[in-house]
Amino acid sequence: MDKANERASGLLGRLSGFMRSCLFKVLCMGPIPTHFSFIMDGNRRYAKKMDMGEGAGHRAGFFALVSVLKYCYEVGVKYISVYAFSIDNFKRRPEEVKTIMDLILEKTEGLLEEGSIADQYGVRVYFVGNLKLLSEQVRIAAEKVMEATAHNTRCVLLICIAYTSCDEIVNSVRECCKDKMEEIEDEEGDDLVDIEKHMYMGVAPDPDILLRSSGEKRLSNYQLWQTTHCTLYSPTALWPEISLLHVVWGILKFQRSYAYFEKKKKML
């Protein structure tokens, strides 16, 4: 009976993979986003809805994230950024912050293992934000992952942690001012380019589409500078409920608005 179940499960898995491959080939007839960004909202509400214990919603959200990353990389998205932990989230109950940080540490260290998603898809990982605010243990783990994946070139994952857009802009202006003090007489500089050069997100192009789960339409201090010409998509599903359907629908929304945003960019 067990062998029969295994064969059936394997067959269903191969069939599902084949159908997904066919679907992605159809999607690739149109433009594919270079950069897909996600605000992972609704983990706590999902835990409450499913009557789960503290932290279980965030763990379920991690599994949803892994699936979403696979779908995006398989369809040809080069850059993915995720809002993992805001600076404002440090204001939550200490017990909850510790639970989340323990999970982040566990999953960050997991990225170093053979067979991880970074290993499977050749992903270069960046941890983006004010990393000085993290505990030493989490910060060291993040630095090890960035170093270990530095030579991967197929895809890029930007994990925004201890991040807010306001902090990013202030830090960028501060760094830009330091540079200007060294070359105060230089009249040839482009202030806008200089500021963008120092952005935490400066290692990636601006997002083409931003998906925020749970139906919320707020950016919540996330990539305010970078989302001027970006399709926004807010499905009502909570983050652990985000599926292949939502990724596909998001790409279709991007394709529908692609010509409009390209025209806007050319007018700059």
Residues assigned a catalytic role: 41
Q: Return the structure tokens found at 124.
A: 């270069």
CB 148 within 8 A of CB 112: yes
Residue pointed to by tokens 């997002």: 207
DSSP structure class, residue 126: E
Contact 128, 163 (CB under 8 A): yes
User: Which two three-digit tokens encode residue 134?
Assistant: 């993290």
State the chain's maximal CA–CA distance in angstroms.
Answer: 79
Q: State the Cα angle at 134 between 131 and 137, rounded to 5°.
A: 115
> What does the alpha-carbon distance between residue 57 and residue 181 come to, in Å, rounded to a whole number?
47
- CA dist., res. 212 & res. 214, Å (int): 7
**Residue 99 contacts by C-beta under 8 Å, 6 or more apart in sequence?**
54, 55, 58
- Alpha-carbon distance of 252 to 37, in angstroms, equals 15
